[in-house]
Amino acid sequence: MEKKFRILAAGDLHGSLDIARKLSAKGKKGKVDLVVLAGDIYGYNGEGEGILDCFGKAGQKIIFVPGNLDFDEDLEGLEKIGKNIHNYYVTYGDVGILGIGSGNWKLRLKEKDLEDVRGNFSRMKHKKRILVSHLHAAGTLAELSGVPGDEVLRKAVEEFAPDLLISAHIHEGEGILDWIGGTRVIQVGKSGTIIEI
C-alpha cells in the first residue's frame, strides 16, 4: 500500500508563539511530512518575531503563503526557516503544492494572479495537486461569516481542479470541509488540521 503524504495545515496564528509551539507539537505527534501555513502568520502589530523557530528546531519542513496581515518586511524572517510559495510551487514526491498569497492588506485577488496560477499549473505534472491560499473561495461554506469569498480564487479552482484547496482567513470557518466540483476544500485555522493525500 502506498504511503500517504501527511500535512499539518494551519493559518491565522497572528503572531502567537504559543499557538506555533502547539502546532509544532501536533505536527510531531502526528508524524507529518510537511507543515503548511496559509497566511496571517504575524500579528496585527508585527508580533511574532521568531514564530517559525519552534518548527525549525523540531526539524519540520514548512511552506507558507502570506496573508493580508503579513507584510513584505516580515517575509525575510519567515523565509529563513520556511519556504514562501506565493506564485510558486514545490514538489514532494508525486505531490505538487502551489501557493497564492495575499500579503500587504490584499483582500482580493486580481486577474493577474489568475494568470500566475495558470502558468504554474501548466507546468505541474504531479499525480496530486494542492492549492494553498490565505483567502477563501467564493461560493463556499466559509462565507458563513458574511465575508464574501474570492471570485478569482474560485475561477482558479474551477479551471485547474486541484485535488485540494487549503485556505484560512475566516477564523470562525476553521474546520469547514466543502467541495468545488471535484476539489476538496479545507478551511484551516490556528488549531491546525492534519490532512493525508
What SS3 class is residue 187?
Answer: strand
**Predicted local distance difference test score (pLDDT) of residue 46:** 61
β-strand partners of 167:
133, 187
Dihedral angle at the C-alpha atoms of 135, 140, 145, 150, nearest 10 degrees? 40
Closest CA to 65 of 99, 15, 41: 99
Does the residue 173 lie in any domain? yes
Does the residue 150 lie in any domain? yes
Please state the domain count of the chain. Answer: 1
Does the residue 171 lie in any domain? yes
Does the residue 70 lie in any domain? yes
- Per-residue pLDDT of the chain (197 residues), as tens digits, is 678 899 999 999 999 999 999 999 999 999 999 999 999 998 776 667 788 999 999 999 999 999 998 888 878 888 888 999 999 999 999 999 999 998 887 888 888 888 888 888 889 988 999 999 999 999 999 999 899 999 999 999 999 999 999 999 999 889 999 999 999 999 999 999 999 99
Q: Is 196 exposed, middle or buried (0-12, 13-18, 19+ CB in 10 A)?
A: exposed
Does the residue 23 lie in any domain? yes
β-strand partners of 86:
99
Q: What is the 3-state secondary structure (H, E, C) of 25-49?
A: HHHHHCCCCEEEEECCCCCCCCCCC
Q: Which residue has the cell 502589530?
A: 45
Does the residue 157 lie in any domain? yes
Give the C-alpha separation, 172 to 174, whole Å: 6
Does the residue 1 lie in any domain? no
Q: Is 17 exposed, middle or buried (0-12, 13-18, 19+ CB in 10 A)?
A: middle
pTM: 0.94
**Predicted local distance difference test score (pLDDT) of residue 176:** 96
Domain residues for the domain of 181 are 6-196
Give the C-alpha separation, 42 to 78, whole Å: 9
CATH number of the domain within which 76 lies: 3.60.21.10
